[in-house]
Amino acid sequence: MYLYLTLVIIATLSACQTNKVKPPTDAIANLEAFEQKEKFDADTALLYPGIADTAHKAQFTKLINLAADDFKVLIESGHNTECAYHNAMNDGLKRFKPYYINTEDRERICQYYEEMMDIVGLDNNGGILTNWIYGEEMN
């Protein structure tokens, strides 16, 4: 019984690392440049045909840019831990909940998150993106 409880506690503590993420000095400028880019257009390098429902392009772009703003807030506040980024990612992905999103568009949204992760120097997403793509419940 104690072994089981210990394993549960260890798993819970390791699920969200409080390690500080040290973003590059140009991270905010790069996030701002990211926000200016056109999004959800066809991209042959990624084998992405473009957004399935063009009526959602502006809204999805707004939601991705809001996620970049979330990352900028973490950098500016100094609360840029892995856990804080993971929470921001979860919150950002939940903003898409009202929409039906096909798998290709879900993958593209996750690629945008991966691009933002690269910009801020976040090495892992804690399984959040995989869970979201395949519809598993987010923590």
Q: What is the pTM of this model?
A: 0.84
Looking at this protein, which amino acid is placed at residue 61? Answer: T
Backbone angles phi, psi at 40, to 5 degrees: 65, 20
Domains of the chain and any CATH numbers: 19-133 (1.20.1480.40)
Candidates 45, 114, 124, 112; CA nearest to 81 is 124
Alpha-carbon span 2 to 110, nearest angstrom: 38
Please report, in tens digits, the pLDDT of each residue of the chain (139 residues total).
Answer: 544 433 333 444 455 667 888 999 999 999 999 999 999 999 999 999 999 999 999 999 999 999 999 999 999 999 889 999 999 999 999 999 999 999 999 999 999 999 999 999 999 999 999 999 987 544 4
